[in-house]
């Protein structure tokens, strides 16, 4: 049963001071979305438990939290929607402000990972989840899943794989497009992509174009969607490329960015030509907003990049993330 922690006499200056802290706003933003234990909240925020507990104590003193015992743990949620209440009127503009905070986007993405990890049921699928990739996800080519997704999408899309390399991302995009434009500055990479995409299923037209990402060989508003897959960490700076992608997308068009989280595999500078050892998602999100993109959001990726050093060392195991954004209609 919920236990309201409502302070009998809330001091307005103390309440305003409590809500002026950006971290406490992040906490309230997450707890409004989901009831969480302190441990879950700590992981979603990427902060230490002691720091989170201190902020929770301040919010508790202002009567903004509700606790619920579940088994041996305690979960917390917020009380911000009391009709006619001063807190409810105050929270509405603060909630709108959260949408512009880069940290809140990252918090929401981590929250999805935390919720995916939450498990208590002891049924069949919970027991076999760790082996499901071997038991229930073995397909001859993987095209069944791609085609199922394609059936839900608008037909006739013009899509682009920007910095396509040998065509790894393009193979997944091809069934979704009527026209697929593959762009790379390296002619040798484009030759590899041509070989790998020689037998694209369906009626997709594949167009290979040589060019730099900061001067795309693509007309204004030519694209319905574009992918930058494992590309941005090869660039010295992001804005010029993102401005070009924004120009090439039609209003309402979507950009999807797959990137590496920051890591310490310095050998990738020389072996793979990486300019950066991964990129912080907050920097990518800030660059997207700076270059005119809207509806920017971060998503966790249940996958890792596993490159092998040329000297024969052990493969790395590097986490990934996905950022989606739109050109404003």
- The first and second tokens of residue 7, run together, are 């302070």
Q: How confident is the model at residue 143 (pLDDT cuts 50, 70, 90)?
A: very low
Q: Are 44 and 30 in contact (CB under 8 A)?
A: yes
**273 and 164 housed in the same domain:** yes
Which of these ranges, 69-78, 114-123, 126-135, has the smallest mean pLDDT?
A: 126-135
- Dihedral Cα 18, 20, 24, 27, nearest 10 deg: 120
**20 and 94 housed in the same domain:** yes
**98 and 247 housed in the same domain:** no
- The first and second tokens of residue 42, run together, are 């700590």
Q: How confident is the model at residue 220 (pLDDT cuts 50, 70, 90)?
A: very high
- Does residue 64 or residue 1 have the better pLDDT? 64
Q: Are 324 and 228 in contact (CB under 8 A)?
A: no
Query: What is the C-alpha to C-alpha distance for residues 250 and 219, in angstroms, rounded to an integer?
Result: 10
**Closest Cα to residue 181, out of 212, 153, 210?**
210
**319 and 214 housed in the same domain:** yes
CATH code at position 97: 1.10.10.10
Query: What is the C-alpha to C-alpha distance for residues 105 and 102, in angstroms, rounded to an integer?
Result: 5
- The first and second tokens of residue 119, run together, are 């498990």
**25 and 169 housed in the same domain:** no
Q: Among the ranges 139-143, 195-199, 221-225, which has the highest mean pLDDT value?
A: 221-225
Residue 268 belongs to a domain: yes
Query: What DSSP designation does 211 have?
Result: -
Which of these ranges, 14-23, 97-106, 260-269, 310-319, has the smallest mean pLDDT?
A: 97-106
pLDDT at 117: 63
Mean per-residue pLDDT for 215-237? 92
pLDDT at 145: 38
pLDDT at 138: 35
Residue 123 belongs to a domain: no
Which of these ranges, 130-144, 158-172, 275-289, has the smallest mean pLDDT?
A: 130-144
Residue 132 belongs to a domain: no
Global confidence as pTM: 0.57
Which of these ranges, 46-60, 114-128, 298-312, has the smallest mean pLDDT?
A: 114-128
User: Residues 79-88: pLDDT tens digits?
Assistant: 765 544 667 7
> What average pLDDT does the structure give for the chain?
79
pLDDT at 238: 92
294: helix, strand or coil: strand
- Orientation angle between helical segments 22-33 and 49-61, nearest 10 degrees: 80
**264 and 192 housed in the same domain:** yes
Beta bridge partners of 162: 183
**175 and 285 housed in the same domain:** yes
pLDDT at 155: 57
pLDDT at 149: 38
User: Residues 196-205: pLDDT tens digits?
Assistant: 898 887 788 9
Residue 135 belongs to a domain: no
pLDDT at 277: 93
pLDDT at 154: 59
- Does residue 153 or residue 181 have the better pLDDT? 181
Give 137-160 as a DSSP string: ---SSSHHHHHHHHTTSPSS-EEE
- Does residue 1 or residue 283 have the better pLDDT? 283
> What's the domain count of the chain?
2
**182 and 310 housed in the same domain:** yes
Mean per-residue pLDDT for 268-283? 88
16-23: Cβ within 8 A, 24+ apart: 16/90, 18/58, 18/59, 18/61, 18/62, 18/64, 19/90, 19/91, 19/94, 21/55, 21/58, 22/101, 22/103, 23/47, 23/51, 23/55
Mean per-residue pLDDT for 279-284? 93
Beta bridge partners of 161: 182, 227
Query: What DSSP designation does 100 have?
Result: T
**88 and 46 housed in the same domain:** yes
- Does residue 114 or residue 43 have the better pLDDT? 43
pLDDT at 124: 35
**270 and 230 housed in the same domain:** yes
Mean per-residue pLDDT for 56-78? 79
179 to each of 83, 134, 211, 256, how far by Cα in Å?
52, 34, 18, 17
Q: Domain range spanning residue 87? A: 2-117
């Amino acid at each position: 049963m919920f236990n309201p922690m409502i302070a009998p006499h809330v001091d307005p200056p103390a309440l305003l001071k409590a809500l002026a802290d950006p971290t406490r706003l992040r906490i309230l933003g997450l707890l409004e979305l989901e009831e969480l234990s302190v441990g879950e909240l700590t992981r979603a925020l990427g902060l230490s438990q002691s720091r989170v507990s201190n902020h929770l104590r301040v919010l508790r003193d202002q009567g903004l939290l509700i606790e619920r015992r579940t088994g041996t743990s305690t979960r917390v949620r917020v009380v911000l929607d009391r009709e006619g209440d001063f807190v409810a009127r105050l929270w509405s503009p603060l909630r709108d402000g959260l949408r512009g905070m880069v940290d809140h986007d990252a918090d929401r993405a981590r929250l999805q990972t935390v919720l995916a990890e939450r498990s208590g049921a002891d049924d069949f699928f919970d027991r076999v989840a760790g082996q499901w990739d071997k038991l229930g996800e073995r397909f001859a080519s993987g095209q069944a899943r791609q085609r199922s997704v394609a059936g839900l999408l608008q037909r006739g899309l013009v899509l682009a794989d920007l910095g396509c390399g040998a065509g790894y991302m393009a193979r997944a995009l091809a069934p979704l497009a009527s026209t697929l434009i593959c762009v790379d500055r390296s002619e040798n990479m484009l030759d590899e992509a041509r070989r790998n995409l020689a037998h694209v299923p369906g009626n997709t037209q594949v167009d290979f174009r040589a060019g730099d990402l900061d001067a795309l060989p693509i007309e204004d508003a030519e694209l319905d969607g574009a992918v930058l897959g494992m590309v941005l960490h090869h660039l010295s700076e992001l804005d010029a490329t993102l401005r070009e992608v924004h120009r090439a997308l039609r209003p309402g068009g979507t950009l999807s960015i797959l990137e590496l989280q920051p890591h310490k595999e310095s050998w990738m500078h020389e072996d793979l030509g990486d300019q950066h050892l991964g990129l912080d998602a907050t920097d990518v999100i800030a660059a997207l907003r700076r270059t005119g993109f809207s509806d920017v959001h971060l998503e966790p990726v249940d996958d890792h990049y596993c490159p092998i050093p040329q000297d024969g060392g052990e493969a790395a195991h590097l986490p990934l993330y996905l950022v989606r954004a739109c050109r404003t209609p």
